[in-house]
Structures are given as C-alpha cells and as structure tokens.
Amino acid sequence: MAKLPIVTVGDPVLEQRAEEVPKITKKVAKLIDDMLETMYEANGVGLAAPQVGVSQRIIVLDPGDGPVIIVNPVLNEASGEEIDVEGCLSIPERWVYVKRATEVEVTGLNEKGKPLRVQAEGLFARALQHEIDHLDGVLMLDRMLGEAEVVQVADEEMAEAEEVEAAEEGE
C-alpha cells in the first residue's frame, strides 16, 4: 500500500464526471488499497478516487466500524433532510453547512466486483452523499449554505475541564 497525494480544490479532476469502472483489475484493487491508506493517514471519513487524481467511480469510507468500499456507487433512495457541518480533504481548513438526506440507500460493487447494497443514516449517509458528489464533479462548496466555524474538540474539552476545576476550587 502507498499513501497518495490528495488533490485540492482548483484541480480540474475534481470538477469532472468520473468514469465507470468496467472491471476490477489488479490496478483498480491496488488503487483501492492506496485510497484506504490515504484516507486513514489523513483521518478522513471518506475519500473518492478523483481526490487522488483518478477520474474513476470509486469511493472508500469508514463511518467508524471498518472500511466500506463501493465501486460505481448509485444513490438509489434518499429521505429526510438535515443541515450540518462538513469538511473535505480536498478543501483543507474549511467547514461549511450543507443540507443532506438523513437516510440513503446506495448500490454498487464491492472490491471483488460483487453487487453491494448499503443502507446508511446520519454521518455515514452524509459521507456517502459527499463522496458520490465527488464522482459527479460536485464539491461541498457547490452546495454550501454558509461557512461554519468549528472549534477544535480538544480545546472544548480542555475548556470544560478547566471550568470543572474552577468550580471545584470555589467550593
């Protein structure tokens, strides 16, 4: 496996419609492995092939309980809607509000070329929609409702811990 460089906003590969994958060749299998490594190294929830400069319809995700690989993904069903904050490995240091469906069903092929059906909700559903958008040349900036300011979680926890300490001292 190898970590691949992540393409950032402004590169035309992020604005194109990616090609269907006709067959899972050895080259495709290696690309999938490399995409997983790249996603994990970058602490991302998902990664689409155009983000590593390859205009093919492949996405990898990990919603928190292991890798999910979908080749030629199709969004079949989407219901509900929710506005929440999103980030993108190709758009560093920016978080924006995007409206997404809360529940989706996606079909496609797994890394062995076998049919796959994924039902997802919440963050996983959001990530699937974000990654499939990449395959159509759509970025979160095209859908953004506004810029979000995100305080680092670590800082928040630190502030809370300090408040607790201060409160205890006051007793």
Q: Which residues bind Zn ion (CB under 5 A)?
A: 88
DSSP-derived secondary structure letter, 19 = B
Amino acid at 140: M
Least distance in Å: CB of 117 to Zn ion? 23
**Can you name the residues that pair with 91 across neighbouring β-strands?**
88
Catalytic residue from among 41, 121, 131, 162:
131
Residue (68 or 88) nearer to Zn ion, CB = 88
End-to-end alpha-carbon separation of the chain, Å? 56
Residue (50 or 108) nearer to Zn ion, CB = 50
Euclidean distance between CA atoms 150 and 85, whole angstroms: 9
Least distance in Å: CB of 91 to Zn ion? 7
Euclidean distance between CA atoms 142 and 123, whole angstroms: 19
Contact 41, 126 (CB under 8 A): no
Give ∠ CA 79-84-88 in degrees, rounded to 5: 105
Least distance in Å: CB of 130 to Zn ion? 5
- Tell me which residue has tokens 């680092």: 152
Least distance in Å: CB of 147 to Zn ion? 16
Residue (52 or 88) nearer to Zn ion, CB = 88
Residue (88 or 96) nearer to Zn ion, CB = 88
Determine whether 131 is an active site residue. Answer: yes
Catalytic site positions? 131
